[in-house]
Structure 1
């Protein structure tokens, strides 16, 4: 935990790819950008292959960033919508392990978000 930021590192591995999930309060797009920037101050997160995130703003507007992991931000948003989580960013971090996961990558993103939601 870093301040209001919850960071769960090394939550699981799939075919060499390693995952972490982070999150915390966030009210706007600038806050989301600052959150990811703060996370990436740690060299390990800065070197990650993907830091994908999703956030439902307090006004109800969803925003996301796939960071090269096409479709991952939408997976995060769907889970946040289902759980009614508003004003809280969730970042799924992946370090690519050399083997493409295909559709399983979406399951891993869901797994990571579930770990975060259960831990908060």
Structure 2
């Protein structure tokens, strides 16, 4: 799994992105569990994720409404299959409104660019 931490900061909220190969929902959830073994990520407000697997697309907003769908849409555009991408947010106390979607998209773009998958 690759993790890119502290990539975005806005009004106190901080973002990270991580991901790795996953062919099944169980493998995707295992990567999420591995990420959460790090206490910092376990205490995050949201760990939203998505993946396009052999048995179809899966996503989880983890309380950040719409984030999983946005990640999934970006993975579909990149034609990235059997790979989970997790966007982590630590809430900073101020609502970000629509900017939160821009940050989720920027985090996924960062991951795709840095890993050479996009």
Distance in 2, matches of 1:33 and 1:7, equals: 16
Matched residues, number: 115
Determine which of 4, 20, 24 is the counterpart of 1:24. Answer: 20
Give the alignment's Cα RMSD to 1 decimal: 0.7
Distance in 2, matches of 1:75 and 1:101, equals: 16
Determine which of 6, 9, 12 is the counterpart of 1:10. Answer: 6
Distance in 1, matches of 2:20 and 2:11, equals: 28
Deviations 1:35-57 (A, max 9, x none): 11100000000000000000000
Offset, 1:58: 2.9
Determine which of 53, 56, 60 is the counterpart of 2:52. Answer: 56
Matched, 1:39 2:35: yes
Unmatched runs of 5 consecutive residues or more in structure 2: none
The aligned residue for residue 112 of structure 2 is 117
Distance in 2, matches of 1:85 and 1:13, equals: 26
The aligned residue for residue 101 of structure 1 is 96
Determine which of 59, 62, 71 is the counterpart of 1:67. Answer: 62
Distance in 2, matches of 1:56 and 1:101, equals: 28
Offset, 1:31: 0.8
TM-score, normalised to structure 2, is 0.95
Runs of 4+, deviation exceeding 2 Å:
none
TM-score, normalised to structure 1, is 0.94
Unmatched runs of 5 consecutive residues or more in structure 1: none
The aligned residue for residue 88 of structure 1 is 83
